[in-house]
């Protein structure tokens, strides 16, 4: 028998501040539940690990694309046009066509080649933070480190000049808010549309510059492929994907670097273990991603009648997949709320799974590993400001 739950509390201030008790209650009802009508725009919620993994890999359960926006004129909506022309919000065959192009230029070799730049960026920011922290003065860790590390790394990857990166932050934030649960308020949409226009204009100009003066960056590689008619993307798709790639590439990693330090400070024995054994940074970062996943949910819709973990899902149903709940599923992870980097087979769903697995997962992991090992090496004592 399918259980029915209310999602009315999901957008409350209390649950938004700490959603994990709510997720724990959902686990008591099973891995998949029907949503009580009137409490959400979704028909089903998935919180179990195995069920979430199934959904993310099932070709019948599709991302929300231009056919599901509810807006027949989405092309004239600045924010929707950005999202719906991107690899993130498309299904096959369009998704595979765009993804193939980015896989050709955003390679493991390119990511590995960024490591010296990552180290230099982290070292420079730590030096600046060390100067400001002299004498025990409190510093803004998020502003001075957690945001600039991925922002600068994505800037290096794409070819966004350093002087433009701080300007980008509030625009990216405005764009991201629209994607949150309950985020499409008139005020948020207006701010998102303004940000979309500015970002589209910026990347249009940057692409033109790289076309005239090529450099060793991702924008140049994509523009050259497009001009040589080797690209499997249109000019509009290229522009949209550059905006979305930059936004997704640093926002999620900012959360990783911020949440990760909080976990280390709340678990001083683990902080000491990582400081003593920096070679263990991959397992620490993986557990940080599991416990505090940067993206809490994704959405799918059923393109045909199907089932999830034995629960019938009717064609057209909207399904909310709570990645953060799946990562704390006690059926998959013993003592799921405990931060334990020594976990065996620690494969969370933080970067998704299936066709839409995160394109920048390897880069995010690299940034997190270097950020934490170098941070702990530079600072012998780190405490929360009171």
The domain spans of the chain are 4-378
Residues in the chain: 386
- Tens of pLDDT, residue by residue over 331-369, are 999 999 999 999 999 999 999 999 999 999 999 999 999
pLDDT band with cut points at 50, 70 and 90 for residue 225: confident
Measured from the Cβ of residue 113, the count of other Cβ atoms closer than 10 Å reads 12
Residue 348, φ and ψ in degrees, nearest 5: -80, 180
Name the token pair of 260.
């990760």
Answer yes or no: are the C-beta atoms of 282 and 370 closer than 8 Å: no
Model confidence, pTM: 0.92
pLDDT band with cut points at 50, 70 and 90 for residue 71: low
For residues 244 and 377, which has the higher predicted lDDT (pLDDT)? 377
The answer to whether residue 379 scores a pLDDT higher than 70 is yes
Name the token pair of 99.
């993804």
- Tens of pLDDT, residue by residue over 260-297, are 999 999 999 999 999 999 999 999 999 999 999 999 99
- Tens of pLDDT, residue by residue over 20-66, are 999 999 999 999 999 999 999 999 999 999 999 999 999 999 998 87
- Sequential DSSP letters for 293-359: -S--EEEEEESSSEEETTEEE-TT-EEEEEHHHHTT-TTTSSSTTS--TT-TT---STT--GGG--T
SS3 label, residue 6: coil
Q: How would you list the strands of the sheet with 32-35, edge to edge? A: 4-5, 32-35, 44-46, 318-322, 297-302, 61-62
- Spell 236-263 as b/e; 16+ CB within 10 A means b: ebbbbbbbbbbbbbbbbbbbbbbbbbeb
Contacts of 135 (CB under 8 A, 6+ apart): none
Contacts of 72 (CB under 8 A, 6+ apart): none
Select from 103, 13, 88, 49 the least CA-distant residue to 336. 49
- Tens of pLDDT, residue by residue over 92-121, are 999 999 898 888 888 889 999 999 999 999
Q: In whole angstroms, what is the distance from residue 174 CA to residue 195 CA?
A: 7
Partnered with residue 35 across adjacent β-strands are: 5
What CATH number does the domain located at 4-378 have?
Answer: 1.10.630.10
């Amino acid at each position: 028998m399918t259980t029915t739950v209310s999602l009315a509390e999901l957008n409350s201030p209390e649950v938004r501040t700490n959603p994990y008790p709510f997720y724990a209650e959902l686990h008591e009802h099973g891995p998949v539940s029907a949503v009580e009508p009137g409490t959400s725009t979704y028909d089903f919620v998935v919180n179990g690990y195995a069920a979430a993994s199934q959904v993310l890999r099932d070709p019948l359960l599709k991302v929300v694309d231009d056919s599901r926006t509810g807006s027949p004129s989405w092309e004239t909506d600045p924010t929707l046009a950005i999202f719906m022309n991107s690899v993130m919000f498309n299904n096959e065959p369009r998704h595979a066509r765009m993804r193939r192009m980015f896989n050709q230029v955003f390679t493991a070799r390119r990511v590995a080649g960024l490591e010296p730049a990552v180290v230099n960026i982290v070292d420079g920011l730590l030096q600046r933070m060390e100067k400001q922290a002299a004498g025990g003065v409190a510093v803004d860790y998020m502003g001075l480190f957690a945001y600039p590390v991925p922002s600068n790394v994505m800037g290096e990857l794409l070819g966004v000049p350093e002087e433009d990166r701080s300007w980008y932050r509030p625009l990216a934030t405005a764009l991201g808010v629209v994607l949150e649960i309950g985020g499409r308020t008139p005020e948020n949409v207006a701010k998102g549309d303004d940000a979309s226009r500015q970002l589209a204009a910026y990347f249009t100009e940057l692409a033109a510059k790289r076309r005239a003066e090529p450099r060793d960056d991702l924008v140049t590689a994509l523009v050259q492929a497009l001009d040589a008619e080797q690209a499997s993307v249109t000019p509009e798709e290229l522009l949209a994907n550059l905006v979305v790639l930059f936004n997704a590439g640093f926002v999620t990693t900012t959360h990783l670097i911020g949440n990760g330090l909080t976990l280390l400070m709340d678990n001083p024995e683990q902080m000491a273990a990582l400081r003593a054994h920096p070679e263990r940074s991959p397992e620490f970062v993986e557990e940080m991603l599991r416990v505090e996943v940067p993206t809490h949910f994704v959405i799918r819709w059923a393109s045909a009648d199907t089932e999830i973990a034995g629960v019938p899902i009717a064609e057209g149903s909207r399904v909310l997949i709570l990645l953060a709940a799946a990562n704390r599923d006690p059926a998959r992870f013993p003592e799921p709320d405990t931060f334990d980097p020594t976990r065996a087979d620690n494969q969370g769903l933080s970067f998704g799974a299936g066709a839409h697995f995160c394109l920048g997962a390897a880069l995010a992991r690299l940034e997190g590993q270097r950020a934490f090992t170098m941070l702990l090496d530079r600072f012998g004592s780190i405490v929360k400001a009171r």
